[in-house]
């Protein structure tokens, strides 16, 4: 095939996806209906029923948990699908098998398959309108995983849970991460309402892995488990101690967290490239899910022929998988270069994420000059994030991403009126980065945050490879190559 044709085909597929409009820009009535998703999947011969899956819902941490669990399963020898959202640079990042992104050619091919099915269903009146961006992408992922016969797929819920397009699968395990206020327009104005949506991924008689958290969320999850006769698994045994006396258990190079942990009857050394104490909870959820999966008897004949009675998950594969986790843009550190200060990318996009970032910065960058490159979506709690983060800053360079939902610099200024900070303006992320590096100086730190879209554009401007975010020797201080 002509290479130009291949590129055009992929670009055309991506363009058609984006032409569907941003997922959150649509009205709820046109988005939340699993019946429509099931009609689409039936036309594709139900790919969602052709692989076992694990569903992960929550407000913060579900992507980190999904990435860690996927790495563990891959290290255990399982061909593992991973579906996440949103992406940093390219849409392909959302759909992976054994860590590798779906290729451009495959994306175009699977998009064409799903698009033809969707068009036929609309023309025949079986669907009232074309599937949304997220419904299309989810169907593409399911078909890709099914056709490639993954052993298991880790599926991050897009938003909510109960009516999210991913929730058509029957999960082996459901995982619920920390829940807080976000997407109130769609999910409700209280933690209780939002938790009700997240708890929609729990199944009758199913298994759900979670951790104690906000009391309102605890009540909802606990009651749902009782109502459905599900089995709750606490990840508490896998959360390391965080008291001052436990400090010696942790790595101090600033690029990883390292601590001992007993898993499946054996002590392992947890070494995760995901930085910050809030990540201890996400890693714990991934370990608990993996350990639970290891205990589930295999029923499918093909799985039993391949693995025996259980999945081949061991303490050693859990340890190795955690170390190999790759989840860029989450307190990802770009070490200082000859003409540039250290740069930290963090996709914190709501108040809970902002508090986690503030805590990690306070612990790791105390007494250093922090210059923020900040931009956010206008439907987020911009003012609250500003009040949490900006007091740490020597200066803030406010900017906007190339996204119709982006808050303007003027809107950020207005929202941050109560935050005491020197706020400067930049028309785009690349300009903001250049200015921030000058203001920070050689010994300072540039922190890029507020939105995954801001982080993605900054990474693109700096030529950062999203496939190389995991801990590696070249990222360690003092490494010259």
The full DSSP string for 87-145 is -SS-GGGGEEETTEEPPHHHHHHHHHHHHHHHHHHHHTTSSSSPPPHHHHHHHHHHHHH
CB crowding 255-274: b at 16 or more within 10 Å, else e: bbbebebebeeeebebbbbb
H-only helix segments in 181-275: 184-187, 191-198, 215-228
Residue 400: inside a domain, yes or no?
yes
What confidence score (pLDDT) does residue 475 get? 35
Residue 469: inside a domain, yes or no?
no
**DSSP assignment of 139-194, as one string?**
HHHHHHHHHTT-SEEEEE-SSSSTT-GGGGS--SEEEE-B--S--HHHH-SSHHHH
What confidence score (pLDDT) does residue 303 get? 83
Cβ atoms within 10 A of the Cβ of 458, count? 27
Q: Are residues 108 and 187 in the same domain?
A: yes
**Into how many domains does the chain fold?**
2
End residue of a domain, out of 271, 299, 323 = 323
How far apart, in Å, do the first and last CA atoms of the chain sit? 39
Smallest Cα–Cα separation from 401: which of 350, 335, 448, 468?
448
pLDDT averaged over 10-residue windows placed end to end, the chain, 481 residues: 52 92 51 85 97 93 95 98 94 97 96 96 95 95 98 91 90 92 56 87 96 91 95 95 55 71 95 90 97 91 86 96 94 89 92 91 88 92 92 94 90 86 91 95 94 94 76 34 31
Residue 74: inside a domain, yes or no?
yes
86 prior amide bond cis, ω within 30? yes
**With contact defined as beta carbons under 8 Å apart, do 41 and 168 qualify?**
yes
Q: Are residues 297 and 442 in the same domain?
A: no
Q: Are residues 239 and 113 in the same domain?
A: yes
Q: Are residues 400 and 271 in the same domain?
A: no
Specify the CATH number for the domain of residue 377.
3.90.190.20
What confidence score (pLDDT) does residue 153 get? 98
Residue 280: inside a domain, yes or no?
yes
**With contact defined as beta carbons under 8 Å apart, do 334 and 344 qualify?**
yes
d(CA 443, CA 340) in angstroms, rounded, equals 9
Q: Are residues 318 and 338 in the same domain?
A: no
Residue 474: inside a domain, yes or no?
no
Q: Are residues 317 and 377 in the same domain?
A: no
Residue 478: inside a domain, yes or no?
no
What confidence score (pLDDT) does residue 150 get? 97
Q: Calculate the alpha carbon distances from 39 to 126, 134, 179 in Å.
A: 8, 15, 30
Q: Are residues 84 and 206 in the same domain?
A: yes
Q: Are residues 142 and 118 in the same domain?
A: yes
End residue of a domain, out of 293, 323, 353 = 323
Q: Are residues 305 and 427 in the same domain?
A: no
Q: Are residues 302 and 351 in the same domain?
A: no
d(CA 290, CA 314) in angstroms, rounded, equals 9
Residue 481: inside a domain, yes or no?
no
Specify the CATH number for the domain of residue 209.
3.40.1190.10
In DSSP terms, which residues pair with 337 in a beta bridge?
A: 340
Residue 472: inside a domain, yes or no?
no
Q: Which domain holds residue 230?
A: 3-323
d(CA 8, CA 163) in angstroms, rounded, equals 34
Q: Are residues 305 and 390 in the same domain?
A: no
Residue with tokens 């009782």: 226
Smallest Cα–Cα separation from 377: which of 21, 59, 25, 18?
25
End residue of a domain, out of 294, 323, 352 = 323
Q: Are residues 314 and 348 in the same domain?
A: no
């Amino acid at each position: 095939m002509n290479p130009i044709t291949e590129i055009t085909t992929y670009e055309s597929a991506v363009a058609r996806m984006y032409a569907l409009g941003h997922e959150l820009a649509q009205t709820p009535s046109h988005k939340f209906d699993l019946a429509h998703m099931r009609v689409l999947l039936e036309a594709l011969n139900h790919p969602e029923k052709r692989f076992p899956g694990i569903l992960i819902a929550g407000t913060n941490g579900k992507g980190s948990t999904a990435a860690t669990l996927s790495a563990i399963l891959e290290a255990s020898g399982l061909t593992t699908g991973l579906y996440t959202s949103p992406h940093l640079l390219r849409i392909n990042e959302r759909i992976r098998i054994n860590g590798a992104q779906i290729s451009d050619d495959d994306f175009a091919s699977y998009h064409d398959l799903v698009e033809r099915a969707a068009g036929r269903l609309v023309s025949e009146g079986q669907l009232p309108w074309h599937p949304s961006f997220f419904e299309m992408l989810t169907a593409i992922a399911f078909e890709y995983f099914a056709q490639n016969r993954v052993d298991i797929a880790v599926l991050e819920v897009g938003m909510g849970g109960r009516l999210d397009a991913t929730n058509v699968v029957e999960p082996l395990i459901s995982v619920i991460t920390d829940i807080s206020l976000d997407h109130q327009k769609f999910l409700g104005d209280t933690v209780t309402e939002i938790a009700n949506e997240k708890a929609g991924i729990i199944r009758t008689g199913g298994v759900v892995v979670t951790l104690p958290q906000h009391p309102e969320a605890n009540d909802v999850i606990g009651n749902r488990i009782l109502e459905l006769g599900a089995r709750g698994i606490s990840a508490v045994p896998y959360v390391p101690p965080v008291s001052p006396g436990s400090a010696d258990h942790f790595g101090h190079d600033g690029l990883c967290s390292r601590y001992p942990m007993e898993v499946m009857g054996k002590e392992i050394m947890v070494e995760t490239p995901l930085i910050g104490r809030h990540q201890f909870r996400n890693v714990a959820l991934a370990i608990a899910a993996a350990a639970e999966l290891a205990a589930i008897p295999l029923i499918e004949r093909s799985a039993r022929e391949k693995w025996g009675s259980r999945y081949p998950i061991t303490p050693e594969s859990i340890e190795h998988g955690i170390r190999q986790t790759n989840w860029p843009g989450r307190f990802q550190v770009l070490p200082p270069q000859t003409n540039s200060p250290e740069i930290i990318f963090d996709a914190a996009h709501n108040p809970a994420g902002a508090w986690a970032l503030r805590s990690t910065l306070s612990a790791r960058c105390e007494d250093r000059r922090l210059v923020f490159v900040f931009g956010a979506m206008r439907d987020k709690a911009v003012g609250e994030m500003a009040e949490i983060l900006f007091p740490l800053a020597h200066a803030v360079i406010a900017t906007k991403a190339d996204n119709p939902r982006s808050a303007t610099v003027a809107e950020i200024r207005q929202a941050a009126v109560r935050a005491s900070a020197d706020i400067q303006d930049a028309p785009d992320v690349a300009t903001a980065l250049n200015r921030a590096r000058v203001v920070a100086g050689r010994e300072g730190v540039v922190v890029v945050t507020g939105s995954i879209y801001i982080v993605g554009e900054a990474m693109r401007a700096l030529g950062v490879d999203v496939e190389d975010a995991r801990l590696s020797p070249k990222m360690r201080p003092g490494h010259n190559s």
